[in-house]
Structure 1
C-alpha cells in the first residue's frame, strides 16, 4: 500500500470519528523502526567504520555497539553527536530526530541554531561544542 503524505494522514485523523478504526486502517502508515534500525540505515549510507564513528562522535565503542544493537537508546544530545560523527547533513539529522520521536532542531532556539549551523557548514563535533560553550549553551557531550 502506498504511503500517505503526512498532511493527508493528519487530516484523515482529524476528520475520523473513531480512533480505533483510524489506527487499524492506517497501521502500515506508522513508523515501526527502532532507533537502532534507523541509525543502521543512516550508517550504511556513509563510508565510515564504527571505530571511526565512535571517535568522531566522542563516545566509547562499547556504548556505540550497544546503541546499534538496540540495547541502549541514545539521548537527543547523543543522537546529535552520532549525526556529527556520521557527517550527516541537516535533512538527514532532522529526519532521524523526527523518526526517533525527538525534537527536531529549531532555529529559533539559540542552542539549536548553533547546532544547525554546525551541521550545515560541516563543522566537527569539537568545533560545535566549543561554539556552544563560548555562547554559554549546553554542550553536546
Structure 2
C-alpha cells in the first residue's frame, strides 16, 4: 500500500464527517522506532552500520547501540548519521520524526548549515568546520 501524502490526508480529514473515520485512515505513516527506520535506510542505501558509524564520527559501541535500539540518540547524533548516510532531506525529516526530534528548519542558521551539508553531501568534519566558521555549536564535539 502506498503511503498517504500530507495534502491527500488533509483532504480526507476535510471530507470526513466524524473523528472515527479520520482515525481509521490507514497508511498515514508507518510507526517505526529509530533503529527500525535506520535498518530500513541501511538496506535502501546498501550500507553497513559499521561504515555509517565511522563516517558519522560516533564512538563505535555507542553507534551500535543506536542501530540496535539500545540508545535513543539526540538530534545532533541523528544528523551526523544522516550526513554519513547521505540521506535525502525527506529521509532526514522522517528520521527526526521517528526520534520525536524537531525537524530541520532552514530559517534557523544552524539547521541551514546542516541542510546545506545534506544537499552538498558533506561529511561531519566538513560541517563542523562550517559551523565553527559561523560561530555556531559543532554538530558533534
TM-score, structure 1 normalization: 0.82
User: Alpha-carbon deviations, 1:79-135, whole Å to 9, x = none?
Assistant: 100011112233332332234433222221111111111111111110101111121
In structure 2, how many angstroms separate the alpha carbons of the residues matched to 1:81 and 1:34? 18
CA offset at residue 41 of structure 1?
A: 0.8
Question: What stretches of structure 1 of length at least 5 have no aligned partner?
Answer: none
In structure 1, how many angstroms separate the alpha carbons of the residues matched to 2:129 and 2:16? 49
**1:134 aligns to what?**
133
CA separation of 1:93/1:60 partners in 2, compared to 1, >3 Å: closer, same or farther? same
In structure 2, how many angstroms separate the alpha carbons of the residues matched to 1:4 and 1:92? 16
CA separation of 1:101/1:18 partners in 2, compared to 1, >3 Å: closer, same or farther? farther
**1:32 aligns to what?**
31
CA offset at residue 20 of structure 1?
A: 4.8
**1:61 aligns to what?**
60
**1:88 aligns to what?**
87
How many residue pairs end up in the alignment?
A: 140
Question: What stretches of structure 2 of length at least 5 have no aligned partner?
Answer: none
CA separation of 1:18/1:101 partners in 2, compared to 1, >3 Å: closer, same or farther? farther
CA offset at residue 13 of structure 1?
A: 3.8
**1:6 aligns to what?**
6
